[in-house]
Structures are given as structure tokens and as C-alpha cells.
Structure 1
């Protein structure tokens, strides 16, 4: 008796699992310096997007009241 779930049999499941495990084995943890570099860039991007959103908010709420 073969188990089926969402159209995948056990053979296909084990094949997919092996593919995922292979990718996880190839992946490496970032070094501390690399992690902080990525965190700085991501933080700067979030701050920039927030500043743009705040500027749009000001233009749409405060400026029309003054006109």
C-alpha cells in the first residue's frame, strides 16, 4: 500500500527532502562582520522607506489644511 498526500508519493517526498537537505548542507552561517553589514543595509532601507512614507503622509494631511 502506497501512501499519497497532495499527489506526491513517498518516493517523491524522500527525493524532495534529499534536495532540501543538500541545499542546507551547502549553506553557511554568515560571519559576524557580514551579518552586521547586511543588518546596516536593511536598517537603512527600512529608514528610507519610512521617511518616504512619512513625507507622503505629511503632504497628504498637513499641507492641504494649510492651503
Structure 2
């Protein structure tokens, strides 16, 4: 592939990209935070279950 073609497609994508509005950003941050919280909670539950099972650690 031609390097010039690759660069022009990257530049086109960057020109189309825009900074998100505050509402958009806060919604994405809430969803990402909820996902991180749920993964942490799942890990804690697994840890707690493995701790209370006899011979689990």
C-alpha cells in the first residue's frame, strides 16, 4: 500500500473528528465508571466467595 494514501485517510478521519460536548463527555464518563465499578464488584464477590469456601485459600 502507498504511504501517501494511508496518511491522507488518517488526516481525513482527524478532520471529521470533533471534541465532544460536555453532556456527551459526562455520559461516556458515567458509563465507563459504571463498567469499572461492576468489574471491581464482580472481582470482589469472587474473592469473597473463594475466601469463605473451605480450602479456597
Which of the residues 19, 28, 38 maps onto 2:28?
38
TM-score scaled by structure 1? Answer: 0.74
Unaligned runs of 5+ in 2: none
Ranges in structure 1 where 5+ consecutive residues have no aligned partner: 1-7
Aligned to 2:3: 13
Runs of 4+ aligned residues of structure 1 deviating over 4 Å after TM superposition are none
TM-score (norm 2): 0.86
Q: Cα RMSD (Å) of the superposition?
A: 1.1
CA distance in 2, matches of 1:15, 1:48: 42
Q: Which has the larger radius of gyration?
A: 1
How far the C-alpha of 1:64 sits from its partner, in A, is 1.9
Q: Which has the higher strand share?
A: 1
